[in-house]
Structure 1
Amino acid sequence: MNIADKISKKLKRRIMAAILVLIGISGGFLWYYSKGAEEIQYKTVRAERSDLRSVIQATGTLDAVETVDVGTQISGTVKEIYIDYNSVVKKGQIIAEIDSATQQTDVAQAEANLMAARADLMNSEAVLANAEKSLARTRKLAEKDLIAKADVDTEEKTYLTSKAQVAASRARIAQYQATLDKTKINLGYTRIYSPVDGVVVAKNVEKGQTVAASYQTPSIAEIAKDLSQMQVEVNVDEADIGGVREGQKATFTVDAHPNDPFSGVVTQVRLSPTTTDNVVTYVVIVKVSNNKGLLMPGMTANVSLIVEEREDVIVVPNSAFRFKPADPSANSGQPGAGMTGKQTIAEVKKPAVYMIEKKTPVRIEVERGISDGQNTEIISGLSEGDEVITGIIVPNGEK
């Protein structure tokens, strides 16, 4: 055997060895991936019947339905304060008193001025009566040519002057009477009464404090008319306000009673927006019952506005719509088996879930209804008991 034959045999053996190695590696890869595919497990959930609510989550503040701010019409020093926080008051009950010394002096002065004006009127009327008699005598004498015409003119002027004085006196009486009435009203303002039945939720002055009513009415107290009925002022984001209507139901909780849900009804959707840090919200008023007295003004409420409700409908978890399997062409090994073209794009836009058929995810188009954020109503496409894929469990156990 020559050297060339020896080299040829060695080369053939090396080529055969390389081929065997490649076959072994390819087989290993095929075994590994086929085994990996077999180990993929899908997490599934049954479609079931349940009641469902579509809600809008928001926060709000509790307040009395009607709160009256009781103020004082006059300036002065608070002489007495008869109420405190949480005091129950009746309509017409005195709640505070302003020192009335100045007002009493004003009344006395106005009464004196009125008496003087009445006395002046009596004097003016007496002068007028004399002037009227004198004018009558003068005219009779003038008719007999016993006095000159100028004397008659003088008496007529005196009469008219006296008559004007009487009118002026009467006007002064009316003026002083009005002043007296005003001072009496101001004297009455020194005693402050509750305008409604209710509960004092704020006391804004103390005994001895000076209040000034120059430009605005100073507040003495705030009285909630009826705390058995309250309201929640809910701030709803502009993205959600389109789903809110008057008459809708609402539920909420407060931090003071986290395990006690409360319910109410939307009574008003205010059109005026509020903008804070470029976030636009609208105020929604929810009226609630507070017969047990657990709710207090100022509490923060975590509100769920019920947009829609469904009873006994088929539902699946929202995670079923988020699940998307790997490209089918990668699993099946068939070129072109993946979704392509206009038809595929249109189909992808339609809501769909996946079910397992022959160990393979199959896309099922469905018609969706309302959602509560965790589950979604299925109007058509699935039946009760159908199992839909919500995720996968990989070999190491991670979901």
Structure 2
Amino acid sequence: MRRWIVFGLPVLVAAVAIAWWMRPASPAAKYVTAPVKVGELEQRVLAIGRVQPKTLVSVGAQVSGLVKRLHVSLGQQVKAGELIAEVDAEPQQTALRTAQAAVAALKAQLAARRASLAQAESTYRRQEALMALDATARAELEAARAALDSARAEVGALGAQIEQARTQVDTARINLGYTRIVAPMDGVVVAVVTRQGQTLNSFQTTPTIVMLAQMDVMTVRAEIAEADVGKVKPGMPVWFTTLGDTQTRHESKIAQVEPAPESITQDAGSALTAAAGGQGANRAVYYNAVFDVPNPDGRLRPSMTAQVTVLTARESKALLVPTAALGAVDAAGKTQVRVLDAKGDVAQRDVHIGLRTNTTAAVLSGLSEGEKVVVGETGSDPAAANEGESGER
């Protein structure tokens, strides 16, 4: 008896252990599940943008010449009408004096012609009186009339020449004023393009001397991918951070989504290449979403990189499930999920889905809070379940 206990008991224990290990698993142990939770779901579009001043003006010179003096420096705050630079005005002053002298000369000629006109009028009246007395020849009267008409025409022509010369005086005076470049608005000098002593040539293009910007309001142009541009509308909330300050969130609303990408301005050859399926056809397309943001403290600077988030949709107090639990969703948002009950049985359930993201979906009908939906089976990657339980806020 003792020998049986010594040798038989271990064999019995081993048999019981093997039987327990080989027992059929419960149905619930075959599935990875996630509970239906109540929470907030947001749909967002991410983009990269560039910060620029809302108002940026290139201040240039409209005359050619040497920059004699530059009155501003980089970063300086200027007021509208404040002197920016002076261009050598000697050529313009000479042109003004020449135009004024031309007007004076024409006025002198006009005075002489008027005297001739008075004499021609007197001669004609005398010949007319003599003709009435039949004391002169008709040829003399006609000659006097021709001389009078010629004198009047010369006076009229000189009057027109004087008006033209006065226009040249006005032009020369305006060009002289262009040698003093003043600020067109209040702003900050954000770039000094032309240095003191540099010679300007305005015959082909207007040379830029400085660039002025109003920094109290900045504009962000965010590049929205082609796949997301249909989701972004004017008025949607938007916020961004900069690379140098990821903790400060600047908030605004979308003002405009530009109807065409910037690439539309490229030459026709590139467009034809893309249409023909060439290399340009595979290029990524981005549309600019534009919005303004206040900058009272000046922390935002031109050309900063903005990490932009656009809130395209939000549902509060929604029933949330992982998208991994969903079957194929039709255009009306209807699909099926597998639900695990308290007994470990799995059943198909028709549900109606609303807002969706890559990881989470909002259930409009068909489920209740606390129910467990199947997101996978034992042995599959449970990451989907973990993501589904975390949700998006």
Give me the whole-angstrom Cα distance separating, in 2, the residues matched to 1:373 and 1:296. 34
Following the alignment from structure 2 to structure 1, what is the Cα–Cα distance between the partners of residues 256 and 294? 16
Q: Tell whether 2:362 aligns with 1:374.
A: no
Q: Which segments of 5 or more consecutive residues in structure 2 lack a partner in the other structure?
A: 1-17, 264-279, 385-393
Q: 1:316 to 1:146 in 2, by over 3 A?
A: same
Residue in 1 aligned with 2:322? 317
> Which moves more between the two structures, 371-380 or 190-199?
371-380
SS for the counterpart of 1:83 is coil
1:355–1:363 Cα contact (<8 Å) kept: no
State how far apart, in whole Å, the 2-side matches of 1:298 and 1:196 are.
21
The answer for the alignment partner of 1:302 in structure 2 is 307
Superposed CA deviations along residues 18-76 of structure 1, whole A, max 9, x for unmatched, are xxxxxxxxxxx998775677895654433222222111111111112222222222222
Taking structure 1 as reference, are residues 365 and 85 closer, same or farther at Cα in structure 2, changes over 3 Å only?
Answer: farther
What are structure 1's unaligned runs of at least 5 residues?
A: 1-28, 325-344
Task: Indicate the residue corresponding to 1:269 in structure 2.
Answer: 257
- CA distances 1:115-148 after superposition (whole Å, capped 9, x unpaired): 1111111111111111111221222222223222
**Alignment partner of 1:49 is 2:38:** yes
Count of aligned pairs: 346
Q: Any residues of structure 2 matched to 1:1-399 within 5 Å, and which?
A: 34=23, 42-225=31-214, 227-275=215-263, 277-321=282-326, 350-355=335-340, 357-359=342-344, 361-391=346-376, 394=379
Does structure 2 retain, via aligned residues, the 8 Å contact 1:274–1:280?
no
Deviations 1:163-204 (A, max 9, x none): 111112111111110100000010011111111122222222
Q: Secondary structure at the match of 2:254?
A: strand
Report the more deviating stretch, 235-244 or 185-194. Answer: 235-244
CA distance in 1, matches of 2:313, 2:67: 55
Instruction: Give how far 1:207 is off.
Output: 0.8
1:13 corresponds to: none
How far 1:352 moved relative to its partner?
A: 2.1
TM-score (norm 2): 0.79
Q: CA deviation at 1:302?
A: 1.5
Q: CA deviation at 1:373?
A: 3.6
The secondary structure found in structure 1 opposite 2:74 is: coil
Cα deviations by residue, 1:279-300 (Å, 9 ceiling, x for unpaired): 2221111222223322112111
Amino acid aligned to 1:388:
V
**Cα displacement (A) at 1:388:** 3.3
Deviations 1:311-355 (A, max 9, x none): 122223334448x9xxxxxxxxxxxxxxxxxxxx9xxx8242543
Task: Please state how far the C-alpha of 1:270 moved relative to its aligned partner.
Answer: 1.1
Deviates more, 1:258-267 or 1:353-362: 353-362
Of stretches 261-270 and 175-184 in structure 1, the one that deviates more from structure 2 is 261-270
* Structure 1 residue matching 2:261: 3-state secondary structure: strand
Q: SS at the partner of 1:350?
A: strand
SS at match of 2:227: coil
Work out the CA distance in 1 between the residues paired with 2:31 and 2:248. Answer: 39
In our comparison, the structure showing a higher alpha carbon Rg is 1
Residues 372 and 287 of structure 1: CA distance in aligned 2, closer, same or farther (over 3 Å): farther
Supply the AA of the counterpart residue of 1:358. K
Q: 1:100 to 1:362 in 2, by over 3 A?
A: same
1:356 shift after superposition: 5.5
* Residues 95 and 194, structure 1, Cα contact 8 Å, conserved in 2: yes
User: Please, what TM-score do these two structures have when normalized by structure 1?
Assistant: 0.78
Identity of aligned residues (%): 31
> RMSD between aligned alpha carbons?
3.0
Compute the displacement of 1:111 (Å).
Answer: 0.7
Q: CA deviation at 1:216?
A: 2.3
Is the CA contact 1:355–1:364 (under 8 Å) kept in the aligned structure 2?
Answer: no
Change beyond 3 A, Cα 1:183–1:242: same
Instruction: Identify the residue that residue 8 of structure 2 maps to in structure 1.
Output: none
- Change in 2 beyond 3 A, CA 1:356/1:221: farther
